[in-house]
Amino acid sequence: MRVHGYVYETINLANGKRYIGKRSSQKLIRNYLGSGKLILKAIKKYGVQSFSVKQIGIASDRKSLNDLEIYFIGEYIRKYGQQMMYNLSPGGEGGYKGSLTEIGREKKQSAMLGNKHALGSIVSKERREELRKQMIGNSFRRGIATTPESKLKISQALKGRVFSDEHRRKISHGLMGHVVTLESRRKMHLSKAGKPMHPHSRVAAIRFHTGRKHTEETKQRMRTAQKLRRAEEKDNHFE
């Protein structure tokens, strides 16, 4: 039989986790351990010496090779469980097209935690300024209205969301020194004018302010802000 390629199994000798892949070659390439995201990350962590690879099937054409890879990935997941696999896709053509199970989604999410390029990072002022300049004139989303269906999905996704103390601390730290201009305040005021407060928001506001005592410094800032708002409203009234 003419051999088009083979399906291989890579085993992490340190923890027993496995990776199933395919290769278009007539002979087993022993120094090739796989190209998946998780297997590459594992190789970097444990070192090449902690892995072994073996051939577990051969195919005579491309389609048969894809089908064979899909078959072995499914069999290995049933036998060892998704948590013991480095595969993120069911195999065949293409790469990652969505996690296989809830465990797969959790694994991908866990891999992102602490990533300095993504979650948990604090963007410096210099980087924020660079991003701001890059977005000037960008009309990718400008003028595109969000559909009611999208709004409903966003609302349902955010319901019941609770920020951790660490998350709140980071938000507070990021807002330190941030000054909202009078123009921004006016726009926010106009956007909310005539709109009733949601019952949940009203209850949350009452709970937040109940028993809360302001310092003299805070009271003075509130008085100053109120005077500025009244002066602005007076100016707008005579325009």
Q: pLDDT for 56-112, tens place per residue?
A: 999 888 888 988 999 999 899 999 999 999 998 888 765 554 444 544 555 555 554
* Burial of 67 (C-beta count, 10 Å sphere; 0-12/13-18/19+): middle
Where in the chain are the domains?
A: 5-112, 181-239
Write down the H helix ranges in the chain: 37-46, 62-80, 102-112, 125-135, 148-158, 165-175, 182-192, 199-209, 216-238
The strand pairing partners of 221, in sequence order, are none
Copy the structure tokens of residue 208: 């937040």
Residue 148 backbone dihedrals phi, psi, to 5 degrees = -60, -35
Q: pLDDT for 195-209, tens place per residue?
A: 787 777 778 778 877
CATH number of 5-112: 3.40.1440.10
Closest alpha carbon to 91 in 105, 76, 71, 77: 71
- Average pLDDT, stretch 207-221? 83
